[in-house]
Amino acid sequence: MTTLAALVFPGFQTLDFFGPMEMLGDPAYGIEIVTVAQNRDLVPSRHGQRIAVDATLADTTDYDLLLIPGGDTALTAAKDPELLQWVRDVSAHADRVMAVCTGTILLGMTGLLDGRRATTNKLDFLETVPLAPKVNWVRQARWVEDGKFFTSSGVSAGIDMALAALASLYGHDKAAKTAYGCEYNWNTDADADPFAKLAGLV
Amino acid sequence: MTTLAALVFPGFQTLDFFGPMEMLGDPAYGIEIVTVAQNRDLVPSRHGQRIAVDATLADTTDYDLLLIPGGDTALTAAKDPELLQWVRDVSAHADRVMAVCTGTILLGMTGLLDGRRATTNKLDFLETVPLAPKVNWVRQARWVEDGKFFTSSGVSAGIDMALAALASLYGHDKAAKTAYGCEYNWNTDADADPFAKLAGLV
């Protein structure tokens, strides 16, 4: 059984997390999703829905896949040394490490992306990328794949990135079938990013 | 304060619910979202995430907006007469009633859509629409607006529909700004539905 650690922290961005859950949770892959948090309290999303926790950081770092959502509070979560170390420890063994929106900055602050290509959300790009200055931040990309690391642009881009990660593991056709099942027009071009221009980054 | 009843039931489709939450929950609107369920137990989504409940059906029917997600289990939820009556009672007063995917069939089974135009998911269209035979089901539509009722095609279409409902209440520009904030390519044409053709409905 393939296991996915789906990290949450108070104020995580709702669609950053649940868009990828819909894709990665397609029963066609048989991935066991484990919601992981700093402690066992219910975790409120940015929009107030409270999520139950399956495991804490202390329980294990043994997962096959990792998803890190964003949200303004990802930068608060990134101040927790135990959380950053957990991300490093999980990533050392995981087959794929995925981060969405500001979650990519949190991932960058672990040092794991140093010298690698990555992207993040476009509206806060210039304010946030200095927090992980050794990353080769890509200004125009819906998502970026570099080795096992998949990072996406803002919020809804996490859906496209999650499908790309599934495609890398299970093949394009199977990922396209997942998108079809959700009646989702998958943006399959990683470089097609109209928001970079709208945000004045290119 | 505008209030939104966001209905959940065991097995609700994850993105059906949380896509609209991301849009309707944009702080720009100041909408208070209340997660409503049949009882106070944690409610597991289709993909296993367990959601805490803010209110039960018995608490109140006084909401300004209603969202009904889908999922295969929406048809099970629709067998609960108390739930169907709650939907009728909320809808009598609400300004907007939104349903996604199979949630539109549940809404149709209340009788509230009789004689109205509505759409639903395209992959299960032919099997499910006979459950609400007096509805004018539209085969090709991303979403349909008829009076206060907004119904959408499958899963991801709920995001486009929620934005359309926001546009109807607060103006197109404000809804477009919400989509932009999520780096979401809003499908603004309600009639553009490639999945109807892919599913052999047109």
Walk me through the domains of chain A, giving residue ranges and CATH numbers.
3-198 (3.40.50.880)
Contact B155 A47 (CB under 8 A): no
Side-chain-side CA neighbours of B113 within 13 Å: the count stands at 32
Strands B3-7 and B65-68 come out as parallel
Asked whether the beta carbons of A98 and A162 are under 8 A apart, the reply is yes
Those residues of chain A whose CB sits closer than 8 Å to some CB in chain B are 6, 13-15, 17-19, 21-22, 25, 33, 35, 42, 45-52, 121-123, 153-157, 159, 180-185, 187, 194-195, 198
Given the residues B57, B74, B101, B175, select the one marked as catalytic: B101
Share of chain B above pLDDT 90, in %: 100
Name the band, by pLDDT with cuts 50, 70 and 90, for residue A125. very high
The pLDDT value given to residue A30: 97
The pLDDT value given to residue A165: 98
**pLDDT, chain A, mean:** 97
Name the band, by pLDDT with cuts 50, 70 and 90, for residue A171. very high
Contact A156 B183 (CB under 8 A): yes
Name the band, by pLDDT with cuts 50, 70 and 90, for residue A105. very high
Residue of B nearest to A193 (CA): B183
**B33 contacts in A (CB within 8 Å)?**
47-49
Of B193, B120, B190, B168, nearest to B23 by C-alpha is: B168
Dist CA A143 CA A98 (whole Å): 10
Burial of B71 (0-12, 13-18, 19+ CB in 10 A): buried
| Average pLDDT of span B112-140 | 97
The pLDDT value given to residue B92: 97
The pLDDT value given to residue A162: 98
Task: Give the number of other CB atoms < 10 A from CB of residue B54.
Answer: 18
Name the band, by pLDDT with cuts 50, 70 and 90, for residue A26. very high
The pLDDT value given to residue B131: 98
- Interface test mutation site (partner B, options A32, A156, A160, max chain B beta carbons within 10 A): A156
The pLDDT value given to residue A182: 96
The pLDDT value given to residue B118: 98
The pLDDT value given to residue B76: 97
- Interface test mutation site (partner A, options B156, B193, B195, max chain A beta carbons within 10 A): B156
Asked whether the beta carbons of A88 and A80 are under 8 A apart, the reply is no
Q: Is A182 a catalytic residue?
A: no
Dist CA B19 CA B156 (whole Å): 7
Contact A47 B33 (CB under 8 A): yes
Between chain A and chain B, the number of residue pairs with CB atoms below 8 A apart is: 115
The pLDDT value given to residue B16: 97
Reduced to 3 states (helix: H, G, I; strand: E, B; else coil), residue A36 is strand
Share of chain A above pLDDT 70, in %: 100
Cβ within 8 Å of residue A21, ≥6 positions away: A6, A33, B14, B15, B45, B47, B49
| Average pLDDT of span A55-77 | 97
| Average pLDDT of span A28-55 | 98
